[in-house]
Amino acid sequence: MAGKFLGAYFDKDRVLRIATWANWIAWVILVGYVVEALYNTIFPIYQNYLSGYQYGLDIIFILFQLLRIFQGAMLFIILQGFGQLLLMVMEIEENTRAASRKG
């Protein structure tokens, strides 16, 4: 019972596990978006090269595919923020309990 919060509304280990999973999932999503955007950007350029530049290269399509990295970055920031928020709430709860015991 040394690491347990008595009377808390949450289990500390479970919250730490959720925060860790949120951080890992954030990285996986970011890497997935970057790989997808690079593939969708490089493939049309390569196809255009193989065809001998017969067809025009759609620059707008390529720019929008590169914006997919931005979408992945936003999801990354949201999930990382969620994980940090969980840790902050636990720290606030811990500090509140410590302050109430002292005073």
Q: How far apart are CA 57 and CA 88, in angstroms?
A: 48
Full residue range of the structural domain in which residue 72 is found:
12-102
How many domains does one find in the chain? Answer: 1
Q: Which long-range contacts (CB under 8 A, 24 or more apart) does 2-6 make?
A: 5/93, 5/94, 5/97
pLDDT of residue 103: 66
Please indicate, yes or no, if residue 6 is contained in any of the structural domains: no
Please indicate, yes or no, if residue 56 is contained in any of the structural domains: yes
pLDDT tens-place values along the chain, 103 residues long: 455 555 566 778 888 999 999 999 999 999 999 999 999 888 888 888 887 777 777 788 888 888 889 999 999 999 999 999 999 988 888 888 888 888 6
Please indicate, yes or no, if residue 1 is contained in any of the structural domains: no
pLDDT of residue 80: 96
